[in-house]
């Protein structure tokens, strides 16, 4: 083997790994123990981050995909499926990390779309086959049988049904949920039946990535500017959860309804500006990465043209505030029109969502003022995230804490040095020169804490 | 145009599919090829080969992640072209550095010529990268799949160039041990 062979050997890396590497560094996990470190920072509270704070956020109850040893990725093995079933009934199933089952060098040639129909409760659910590890590993990773079916199994240790394993003549394959076969259905059923999300507590964070329908240089620039962020604030997650729970899904091939716009370069760029891709991380460690949002029509949608109802103006404003979407004027007009037509249908579900309504009370009436506030808030969050990341990387050992403060809004950083070079290094993070407030403290405390100014 | 729509055009055997693919992913694929070849003409040739390969593959293939589907194809063409052009002479650009770094992973104590199956090596690398922390894995992929420069990686992930070098060095060392253990070197 020579070095070229080795380089070529990297050519069949799984898509999920490649996709993951496309994201910028703001949400990249440094180690295996940190979770939810980067907070959504533009809410009314302030978040104080100190060295060592990561330990406070260690997630002990969630099965961490990174920490599952390879040897334990499969359930206790037996020789046949029936024996596995009896075995499973006797003792708790081992938790199988889905990422360990996905696409092992399936190659581009085998990526044809296969759809399976599974009867789940009152629905016929569409699942599509995904590239996975070998059949024998899947066989060892099956959990309980899906009620009422003969050959569909949950993944071992999973209460959700985002992925199922199917057996066919002793050949096992992995399938992912697509949609229910019905003209329309409440998304709350998908959340509960498929994803096992019954309340906001079942969601630990939401990763928000830029939409990538335009990868031209200009499109890439916009994507880079938007970057990836993490919504970890409870109130923000609750707001999103409440909106999602009230959605109606209209199934696939509904691109007209989604109304992203035409394919002109300016329209495509606008789609990137107004679009976000969501990855919901559940308390069980599952990642649901199918939901997308576009501010153009104020609608959630999915790959394959799966459309949802348009959000009310109030919901739209709140959601976009959380997702950090800034729309240009010409689209917001059309959105207003489209949204108003849907307002009536959403009024009923809206009544059940006090959190959503209360959050929007703070929204300034003047859109221009609001826009400025959002931009400023995004800059603050970005600065805070970059400093936090640098602290985690030990690039700023003289910084003992960094926090977003209000009135006036700024990132407040405490340092234990007066060295001008070091302070200049810190100041360089603030490209605007107006967001950073530096405080000298002799204390080198490393204990982290979270507090609120309210 | 959305990926779905472009793929639909491929399925309908409409040649505009290639135009749209070029429009949307031309610069993306060019960067991958050029990172390896450091030559505009050769990279553009790889792009044309890639569109043709996509045309031949879709249908029946229906890529799930269209950009990654193209990335893998263009990377493969670029490596093959690099190999054919640089059998006897040293090339230029980022790829030289990348390959020199990878050489560290295969120069072990053993000098026995080892036979291996490419697919098995790909599996081993896949598993190895999956076993890394997200940060190490991402940096490793950017360097050895996309052949991105250290500076580009540093900018992408907001970490210092020195930090990137250290991470890559440690990870290469781990890969060398893994390859040794599995009998590749």
Q: What is the DSSP string of A94-141?
A: PPPPGGGTB-SS--GGG----EEEEEETTEEEEEEEE-BS-HHHHHTT
Phi, then psi, of A209 in degrees rounded to 5: -115, 155
User: Whole-angstrom Cα distance, residue A6 to residue A402?
Assistant: 43
**Contact map slice: A 241-280 vs B, CB within 8 A:** 255, 260, 263, 268
DSSP one-letter code for A411: E
Task: Check if A11 contacts B (Cβ < 8 Å).
Answer: yes
Asked if A82 reaches chain B (Cβ–Cβ under 8 Å), the answer is: no
Within 292-321 of A, beta carbons closer than 8 Å to B belong to: 303-305
pTM: 0.43
Give yes or no: residues B126 and B70 share one domain.
no
Tell me which residue of A9, A61, A123 sits closest to B99, measured CA to CA: A9
Domain count, chain B: 2
Q: Categorize the per-residue pLDDT at A376 as very low, low, confident or very high, splitting at 50, 70 and 90.
A: low
pLDDT digits over A47-104, tens only? 333 333 333 333 333 344 333 333 333 333 333 444 444 444 445 677 888 888 886 4
Domain coverage including residue B177: 94-181
* Position with higher pLDDT, A25 vs A402: A402
Interface of A with B in 84-103 (CB under 8 A): 99-100
Query: Which helix (H) or strand (E) covers residue A207, if one does?
Result: strand A203-210
Interface contact flag, B102 A19, Cβ < 8 Å: no
* pLDDT for the residue A96: 84
Residue A60: DSSP 8-state: S
Interface pTM, i.e. ipTM: 0.82
A28 touching chain B per CB within 8 A: yes
Cis? peptide before A309, omega within 30° of 0: no
* Token reading at B181: 């253990």
- Residues 6+ positions from B162 with CB-CB distance below 8 Å: none
Q: Return the CATH number at B172.
A: 1.20.140.160
Mutation site, B21, B102, B132, interface A, largest A CB count within 10 A: B102
CB contact under 8 A, A263 and B184: no
Residue of B74, B151, B158 for testing the chain A interface, max A β-carbons within 10 Å: B158
B169 shares a domain with B106 = yes
What is the helix (H) or strand (E) element at residue A413, kind and residue range? strand A410-415
Domain residue spans of chain A? 29-60+371-454, 70-180, 185-363
Please report residues of B whose CB lies closer than 8 A to that of A105. Answer: 119, 122-123, 126
Q: Are the beta carbons of B103 and A3 separated by less than 8 Å?
A: yes
Q: What is the pLDDT of residue B6?
A: 93
Contact criterion met (CB < 8 Å) for B144 and A15: no
User: Is residue B120 less than 8 Å (CB to CB) from chain A?
Assistant: no
Identify whether the C-beta of residue B158 lies closer than 8 Å to the C-beta of residue A383: no
Distances (CA, A) of A357 to A295, A316, A347, A361, B137: 19, 11, 12, 7, 41
Secondary structure (3-state) at A185? strand
B107-156: pLDDT as tens digits = 654 444 455 677 788 888 999 998 888 888 999 999 999 999 999 898 88
Contact (CB<8Å) B72/A268: no
Structure tokens at A123: 């629905």
Q: What span, in angstroms and rounded, lies between the C-alpha atoms of B40 and B55?
A: 23
Taking only the tens place, the pLDDT of each residue in A143-155 is 888 888 888 999 9
Does B116 lie in the same domain as B59?
Answer: no
Choose among A136, A135, A176, A179: nearest CA to A158: A176
Q: Residue A124's closest CA among A116, A135, A132, A112?
A: A116
Note whether A336 and A343 are within 8 A (CB). no
- Cβ neighbours around A283 below 10 Å, total: 17
- DSSP readout, A216-263? SHHHHHHHHHH--EEE--HHHHHHHHHHHHT-EE--SS-HHHH----S
| Same domain, residue pair B105 and B170 | yes
d(CA A51, CA A48): 10
How long a stretch of residues is chain B? 185
Provide the number of CB pairs (under 8 Å) joining chain A to chain B.
171
Instruction: Spell out the SS3 assignment of A264-317.
Output: CHHHHHHHHHHEEEEEEEECCCCEECCEEEECCCCEEEECCCEEEEECCHHHHH
Chain B nearest CA to A3, separation (Å): 5
Contacts of B142 in chain A (CB under 8 A): 21
Closest CA to B78 of B89, B93, B63: B93
Using the Cβ of A207 and the Cβ atoms of chain B, whether some distance falls under 8 Å is answered with no
- Closest C-alpha among A26, A54, A56, A62 to residue A41: A26
Q: How many other C-beta atoms are found inside a 10 Å radius of the C-beta of residue A44?
A: 12
| C-alpha span between A153 and B5 (Å, rounded) | 33
CB pair distance less than 8 Å for A11 and B100: no
User: In whole angstroms, how far apart are CA A206 and each of A179, A187, A276, A301, A322?
Assistant: 21, 17, 11, 16, 10
Both B76 and B99 in a single domain? no
* Interface membership of A216 toward B (CB under 8 Å): yes
Q: Is B111 exposed, middle or buried (0-12, 13-18, 19+ CB in 10 A)?
A: exposed
Residues B117 and B164 in one domain: yes
What is the structure's pLDDT at A109?
39
What is the reported pLDDT for A292?
A: 92
Other C-beta atoms closer than 10 Å to the C-beta of A28 total 23
DSSP 3-state of A400: strand
Residues B63 and B119 in one domain: no
B100 and B173, same domain (yes or no): yes
Does residue B53 sit at the A interface (CB-CB below 8 Å)?
no
- At B115 the pLDDT is 53
Paired tokens of A409: 């809004």
> Residue B106 corresponds to which tokens in the numbers above?
């295969």
Judge: A30–B133 Cβ closer than 8 Å, yes or no.
yes
Q: Which two tokens stand for residue A454?
A: 């309210």
Which domain-ending residue is among B39, B65, B85?
B85
Residues B17 and B75 in one domain: yes
Tokens standing for residue A85: 């079933």
Q: Identify whether residues B15 and B78 lie together within a single domain.
A: yes
B102 and B174 fall within a common domain = yes
Helix (H) or strand (E) holding B85: helix B66-85
What 3-state class would DSSP assign to A327? coil
Beta bridge partners of A124: A119
What phi-psi label fits residue A34: left (phi over 0), alpha (psi between -120 and 50 degrees) or beta? Answer: beta
3-state secondary structure of A365: coil
Q: Where residue B24 sits, what CATH number does that domain have?
A: 1.10.1740.10
Nearest CA in chain B to A31: B133
Last residue of a domain, one of B53, B85, B117: B85
B56-85 average pLDDT score: 88
Summary mean pLDDT of chain A: 71
> Is B163 a residue whose pLDDT tops 80?
yes
pLDDT digits (tens, 9 = 90+) for A189-206: 999 999 989 888 889 889
Check pLDDT > 60 for residue A338.
Answer: no
Q: What is the pLDDT of residues A240-272, one digit of tens each?
A: 999 999 999 988 878 878 888 777 778 888 888
Q: Is the dihedral of CA A3, A9, A15, A20 positive or negative?
A: negative
> Does B130 contact A at CB distance below 8 Å?
yes
> How near does any CA of chain A get to the CA of B8, in Å?
11
Q: Which helix (H) or strand (E) holds A383?
A: helix A367-392
Q: Which helix (H) or strand (E) holds B143?
A: helix B134-144
The helix (run of H) or strand (run of E) holding residue A173 is strand A171-180
**Residue A373, pLDDT score:** 59
Q: Which residues of A touch B135 (CB under 8 A)?
A: 28-31
Q: Is the pLDDT of residue A235 over 60?
A: yes
State whether residue A393 sits within 8 Å of chain B by CB. Answer: yes
């Amino acid at each position: 083997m020579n070095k070229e062979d080795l380089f070529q050997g990297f050519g069949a890396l799984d898509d999920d790994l490649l996709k993951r590497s496309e994201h910028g560094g703001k949400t990249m996990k440094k180690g295996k123990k940190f979770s939810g470190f980067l907070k959504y920072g533009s809410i009314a509270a302030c978040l104080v981050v100190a060295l060592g704070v990561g330990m406070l956020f260690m997630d002990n109850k969630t099965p961490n995909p990174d920490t599952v040893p390879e040897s334990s990725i499969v359930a206790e093995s037996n020789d046949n499926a029936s024996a596995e079933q009896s075995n499973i009934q006797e003792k708790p199933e081992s938790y199988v990390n889905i990422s360990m089952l996905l696409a092992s060098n399936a190659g581009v040639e085998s990526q044809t779309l296969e759809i399976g129909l599974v009867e789940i409760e009152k629905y016929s659910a569409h699942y599509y086959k995904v590239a996975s590890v070998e059949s024998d590993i899947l066989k060892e990773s099956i959990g309980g049988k899906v009620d009422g079916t003969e050959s569909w199994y949950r993944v071992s240790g999973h209460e959700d049904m985002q992925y199922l394993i199917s057996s066919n003549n002793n050949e096992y394959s992995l399938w992912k949920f697509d949609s229910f076969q019905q003209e329309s259905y409440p998304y709350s059923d998908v959340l509960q039946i498929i994803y096992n999300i019954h309340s906001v507590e079942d969601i630990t964070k939401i990763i928000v990535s830029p939409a990538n329908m335009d990868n031209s240089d200009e499109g890439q620039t916009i994507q880079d500017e938007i970057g990836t962020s993490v919504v970890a604030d409870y109130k923000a997650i609750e707001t999103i959860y409440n909106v999602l729970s009230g959605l109606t899904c209209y199934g696939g091939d509904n691109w007209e309804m989604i109304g992203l716009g035409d394919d002109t370069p300016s329209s495509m760029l606008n789609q990137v500006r107004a679009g976000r891709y969501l990855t919901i991380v559940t308390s069980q460690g599952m990642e649901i990465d199918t939901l997308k949002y576009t501010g153009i029509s104020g609608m959630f949608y999915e790959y394959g043209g799966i459309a949802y109802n348009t959000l009310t103006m109030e919901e739209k404003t709140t959601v976009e505030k959380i997702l950090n979407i800034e729309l240009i004027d010409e689209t917001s007009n059309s959105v207003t029109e489209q949204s108003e037509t849907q307002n009536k249908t959403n009024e009923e579900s809206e009544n059940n969502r006090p959190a959503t309504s209360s959050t929007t009370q703070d929204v300034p009436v003047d859109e221009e003022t609001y826009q400025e506030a959002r931009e400023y808030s995004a800059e603050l969050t970005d600065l805070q995230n970059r400093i936090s990341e640098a602290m985690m990387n030990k690039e700023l050992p003289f910084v003992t804490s960094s926090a977003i403060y209000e009135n006036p809004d700024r990132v407040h950083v405490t340092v234990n040095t007066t060295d001008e070079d070091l302070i200049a290094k810190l100041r360089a993070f603030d490209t605007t020169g107006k967001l950073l407030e530096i405080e000298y403290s002799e204390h080198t405390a490393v204990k982290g804490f979270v507090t609120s100014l309210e | 145009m959305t990926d779905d729509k472009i793929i639909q055009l491929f399925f309908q055997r409409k040649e505009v599919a290639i135009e749209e693919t070029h429009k949307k992913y031309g610069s993306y694929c060019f960067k991958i090829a050029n990172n390896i070849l450091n030559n505009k003409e050769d990279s553009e040739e790889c792009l044309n080969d890639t569109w043709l390969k996509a045309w031949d593959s879709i249908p029946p293939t229906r890529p799930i992640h269209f950009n990654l589907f193209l990335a893998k194809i263009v990377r493969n063409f670029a490596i093959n072209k690099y190999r054919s052009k640089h059998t006897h002479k040293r090339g230029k650009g980022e790829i030289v550095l990348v390959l020199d770094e990878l050489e560290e992973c295969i120069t072990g104590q053993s000098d026995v010529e080892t036979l291996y199956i490419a697919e098995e090596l790909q599996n081993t690398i896949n598993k190895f990268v999956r076993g890394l922390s997200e940060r190490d894995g991402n940096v490793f992929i950017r360097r050895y799949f996309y052949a991105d420069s250290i500076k580009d990686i540093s900018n992408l992930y907001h970490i210092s160039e020195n930090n990137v070098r250290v991470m890559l060095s440690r990870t290469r060392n781990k890969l060398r041990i893994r390859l040794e253990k599995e009998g590749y070197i």
